[in-house]
Structure 1
Amino acid sequence: MATRPPRTAKLSREAIVNAALTFLDREGWDALTINALANQLGTKGPSLYNHVHSLDDLRRSVRMRVVGDIIDMLNTVGQGRTPDDAVMVMAGAYRSYAHHHPGRYSAFTRMPLGGDDPEFTEATHAAAAPVIAVLSAYGLDQESAFFAALEFWSAMHGFVLLEMTGVMSGLDTDAVFSDMVMRLAAGMRHR
Structure 2
Amino acid sequence: MATRPDPPTGASRSRTGGRPAARTAKLSRDVIVNAALAFLDREGWDALTINALANHLGTKGPSLYNHVHSLDDLRRTVRMRVIGDIIEMLNTVGQGRTRDDAVLVMAGAYRSYAHHHPGRYSAFTRMPFGGDDPEYSAATKAAAGPVIAVLDSYGLEGEDAFYAALEFWSALHGFVLLEMTGVMDDVDTDVVFSDMVLRLAVGMEHRR
TM-score range for the pair, normalised by the shorter chain length? over 0.9
8 Å CA contact retained: 2:33, 2:78: yes
Distance 2:206 2:52 in 1: 51
Distance 2:141 2:34 in 1: 23
| Partner residue in 2 for 1:188 | 204
| Partner residue in 2 for 1:134 | 150
Q: Compute the displacement of 1:6 (Å).
A: 2.9
Distance 2:188 2:98 in 1: 26
Q: Compute the displacement of 1:22 (Å).
A: 0.3
Q: Compute the displacement of 1:141 (Å).
A: 1.9
| Partner residue in 2 for 1:46 | 62
Distance 1:101 1:94 in 2: 11
Residue 92, structure 1, aligned to residue 119, structure 2:
no
Give unpaired runs (5+ residues) of structure 2.
Answer: 1-14
| Partner residue in 1 for 2:8 | none
| Partner residue in 2 for 1:73 | 89
Residue 160, structure 1, aligned to residue 183, structure 2:
no
**1:4-43 aligned within 5 A:** 5-43=21-59
Deviations for 1:68-89, whole angstroms, at most 9, x for unmatched residues? Answer: 0000000000010121110000
| Partner residue in 1 for 2:4 | none
Identity of aligned residues (%): 82
Distance 1:168 1:9 in 2: 41
Report the TM-score when normalising by structure 2: 0.90
Q: Which has the larger radius of gyration?
A: 2
Report the TM-score when normalising by structure 1: 0.98
Distance 1:40 1:75 in 2: 32
Structure 1 residue ranges (4+ consecutive) displaced by more than 3 angstroms after TM superposition: none
Return the structure number with greater relative CO, CA threshold 8 A, min gap 6: 1
Q: Compute the displacement of 1:180 (Å).
A: 0.2
Aligned alpha-carbon RMSD (Å)? 0.9
Q: Compute the displacement of 1:137 (Å).
A: 1.3
After TM superposition, the structure 1 stretch with the greater mean CA deviation from structure 2, 1-10 or 160-169, is 1-10
Q: Compute the displacement of 1:190 (Å).
A: 1.1
